Copies of this chain bind each other. A is one copy, B any other.
Amino acid sequence: MIGEFEYLLIAASHRLGEDAYGASIRREVEAATERPCSIGSLYTTLDRLEAKGLVTTWMGEATSQRGGRAKRMVTVTAKGIEAASIFYRAISKVSRDISWEAQCPLSQE
């Protein structure tokens, strides 16, 4: 089973489609989690996902804009979609009927 962070990367990549590459995925993940995602975490996990065949990556062309370094593009494989699907289904299933929010107006310890 893939982990939580792995799922975040796969889902973010899938959402981004053609525009999925290291830095954009990172921004997407940060937007979803509302907390910083370190560069190291991201590429390390991307490497692992690729090793497991859940995503494919390749280096794009350098673009002609300030800092236009070549990007590491990402595509989720069918196997990756399958893994994400299983993960998501499990989370959804165990969470059915639960509404985490609004449990306690003022979160007390």
| A4 CA / B108 CA spacing, docked (Å) | 24
**Does the CB pair A15–B91 fall under 8 Å?**
no
Say whether B90 contacts A8, CB under 8 Å.
yes
Q: Identify A4's interface contact among B1, B34, B85, CB under 8 A.
A: B1
Establish whether residues B79 and A100, one from each chain, have CB atoms under 8 Å apart when the complex forms.
no
Count of chain copies: 2
A32 close to B101 (CB less than 8 A) = no
CB of A85 to closest CB in B, whole Å: 4
Other-chain contact of A32, B12, B35, B94 (Cβ < 8 Å):
B94
What are 20 sample pairs from A and B whose C-beta atoms fall under 8 A apart?
A1-B4, A1-B33, A7-B91, A8-B91, A11-B94, A11-B95, A12-B94, A14-B98, A28-B94, A33-B93, A78-B104, A78-B107, A78-B109, A81-B100, A81-B103, A82-B107, A84-B100, A85-B101, A85-B103, A89-B100
